[in-house]
Chains A and B, each alone.
Chain A
């Protein structure tokens, strides 16, 4: 018996592990960042599918709040990672 939570949760697991593999095997920096973002999306999917309580009832709002802040933190971490990489690859013309 496959419930809605289960199929979305398993999709999240698939997404997370596949993206994790890509993130670990790639060399190009931006590809890794992209893969980590997809992996994060898979993780959020597992979390939110567990919070789903069926069509008739409202879902659990606590994971929703956590994922909401997680999305914002993921963006700022991505921006920081990109800035760090650019600083790393910049020709050494430090002022």
Chain B
């Protein structure tokens, strides 16, 4: 009976998710499409919980849905204000369209066959056993944090560098976004309540990441959401420190701390980012704290599309 309920639940969830994904991409109005995409992301978070991936559910709700949705809506606002340059007409070449449909159907069949074959006939257990046997030596008890910050710390280090490079690219393009109006009473009242709560949640997620779902990425994303909320309700600086030097320092502190700890361990005769067992918990927390600040600041700056410094932290009441 319970198995039947789960099956019904799975099919309902998948149908709703596919329907939302489909309608987000095929609706005529782009604004409605983005709203549907946000709803799609929330359902996807449910799917992650169903598949026992709560860490990803947190990240999806905060970044994949929240920040991406806000970013797309902001981009749509810019595009609409640029005198409706976007043409929504479909390409006329119908033969190419049919060919494309045929090609993607074939691709779907091949991928589906490969997936079914891999799941039915190949007995590959993944790396779960390796992770769980080594978990005691990682300094944390949340396996995802152990993989991110210890077993595959090198990947995470480079990933922070990727974030940094992306934001440097955005900054160098020098495209500023029009400031937002000072928010009305309801939104600004809500912001005053929400931002401190978001900061506390972010600190909690950072701390709890050592032994439960959470960690630097989720924590940084929640902090960035607080900044984006501030920006949307008219605070031009998005809560970032007013001095450029401090902003830049916050941007690089994650990569810097990661590199310093990695190189320091090499000086002490160990491998790059090969933590000593007694210290690993504290080192991971230190890296995660620095990474959280960097991730939050880079995500906010990615949302702001780079313009920092000049307008400073002043509240923008014009426009």
Contact = CB atoms under 8 A, between A and B. Distances in A.
B152 to A, nearest CB: 6
A83 to B, nearest CB: 4
Interface in B82-97: 82, 85-91, 97
B237 interface: no
Main secondary structure of the interface of A (DSSP, over half): helix
B115 A6 contact: yes
A5 B22 CA distance: 21
Interface in A21-36: 21-22, 24-25, 27-31, 33-35
Interface string B34-66: 100100110010011011110110011001100
A59 to B, nearest CB: 5
Interface size range on B against A: 35 or more
Contacts of A58: 52, 128, 132, 143
Given A80-B166, A83-B173, A8 B100 contact: no
Contacts of B75: 30, 33, 82, 85-86
A84 B14 contact: no
Given A63-B126, A65-B148, A50 B175 contact: no
User: What bracket does the count of chain A residues touching chain B fall in?
Assistant: 35 or more
B64 to A, nearest CB: 5
B169 to A, nearest CB: 5
Contacts of A80: 166, 169-170, 302
A10 to B, nearest CB: 6
Contact of A21 (B100, B132, B163, B167): B100
The 3 nearest A-B residue pairs measured at CB: A79-B302, A61-B143, A76-B166
Interface of A: 3-11, 13-22, 24-25, 27-31, 33-35, 37-38, 41-42, 44-46, 48-53, 55, 58-69, 71-80, 82-87, 89-90
